[in-house]
Amino acid sequence: MPATARPSLAAPTCPTEIAVELAGVSFGYDRRRPILTGIDMAIPRGKVVAIMGASGSGKTTILRLIGGALRAQSGKISVAGQNVRELDRDALFALRRRIGMLFQFGALFTDMSVYENIAFPLREHTKLPEELVRDLVLMKLNAVGLRGAAQLRPSELSGGMARRVALARAIALDPMLVMYDEPFAGLDPISLGVVGQLIRKLNDALGVTSVLVTHDIYESLKIVDYIYFVSAGRIVAKGTPDEVRASQDPFVRQFVDGEPDGPVPFHYPARTLAEEFARAG
């Protein structure tokens, strides 16, 4: 799916067009070691937005902040117009019912079948009759191409299949926002392409907003509308896939070209070699 086929992502001006907004968000487990500093981000409704960066740069922390699993120390996190930091537990759970999340390795419940995994949120949050639950589960499974795997156990699924089942579970309640934590990690090229296309197609077909945390630059450039680059807890670059491809920003270039050294250094901070050997001698 070419990136140019989709409308360009101009900065939205109407607040209702923004599904998720982070303004000046900072977070750290303690004051001395900040994980995120001054994050500003606006994710428009109906778009697929990727958050990219090296491992340990704070990408997943952003997802956890959006979902309210972590509380930011400062700044504002707004999801569907609600300030996540100010929500009490009941309001947060009410908001989460409108959010789907796909975890890095699926996080399927291992004591349930594929069918029961997808029926789980429906049974927990609705009083639908079992016949309707069955129809909905099979529809979701059909959307990810795994209707035939309904009775399998999670241990019988490949990594790609588990990711697709988790995706079906994430959309079971027809959420307004779906968050993906490293959806491409550990997948073979075919599964990777399948999952990538599913993210895009489901986003467009269901009219949801998608936030993608990944470091798979090639797959992301094919499916996303906009990309934020995070390094050391700060947003260091952003742009559409075309802007990213054309960017001369050193960080973006290092990331896109896979250079081992650059703004993200190869060596962990240490004394110079001369100092190290002089000390040893």
Partner 1 sequence: MPADTIAFVLRRVGRATQNSISRLGFAARFFALVLYHSPAALRRVQLTLREVYFSGVLSLVIICVSGLFVGMVLGLQGYDSLNKYGAGDSLGIFVGLSLVRELGPVVAGLLFASRAGSAITAEIGLMKTTEQIAAMEMMAVDPLARVIAPRFWGGVLSMPLLAAMFSVMGVFGAYIVGVRLIGLDSGSFWGNMQGGIDFWPDITNGIIKSIVFGVAVSLIAVFEGYDAKPTAEGVSTATTRTVVGASLAILALDFVLTVFMFRGAAS
Site residues, partner 1 (CB under 8 A): 67, 69, 93-94, 96-97, 99, 101, 103-105, 107-110, 120-121, 124-125
* Residue 69 tokens, joined: 């699993």
Q: How far is the CB of 276 from partner 1 (least distance, A)?
A: 28
Nearer to partner 1, 20 or 99 (CB): 99
* C-alpha span between 75 and 241 (Å, rounded): 28
Q: In this structure, what DSSP letter does residue 12 have?
A: P
Nearer to partner 1, 184 or 226 (CB): 184
Nearer to partner 1, 99 or 252 (CB): 99
Q: How far is the CB of 109 from partner 1 (least distance, A)?
A: 6
Q: How far is the CB of 93 from partner 1 (least distance, A)?
A: 4
Number of CB atoms found within 10 A of residue 85's CB: 16
Angle between helices 130-143 and 114-125 (to 10 degrees): 130
Nearer to partner 1, 118 or 223 (CB): 118
Q: How far is the CB of 51 from partner 1 (least distance, A)?
A: 17
Q: How far is the CB of 241 from partner 1 (least distance, A)?
A: 28
Q: Is residue 115 within 8 Å of residue 169, measured between CB atoms?
A: no
- The three-class DSSP label of residue 188 is coil
The CA-based angle 81-230-106, given to 5 degrees, is 75
Q: Tell me how far CA of residue 243 lies from CA of 57, 184, 202, 216, 249, in angstroms.
A: 22, 23, 25, 17, 10
Q: How far is the CB of 155 from partner 1 (least distance, A)?
A: 11
Nearer to partner 1, 159 or 263 (CB): 159
Q: Is residue 208 within 8 Å of residue 177, measured between CB atoms?
A: yes
- The amino acid present at 43, given as its one-letter code, is I
* C-alpha span between 79 and 141 (Å, rounded): 27
Nearer to partner 1, 96 or 238 (CB): 96
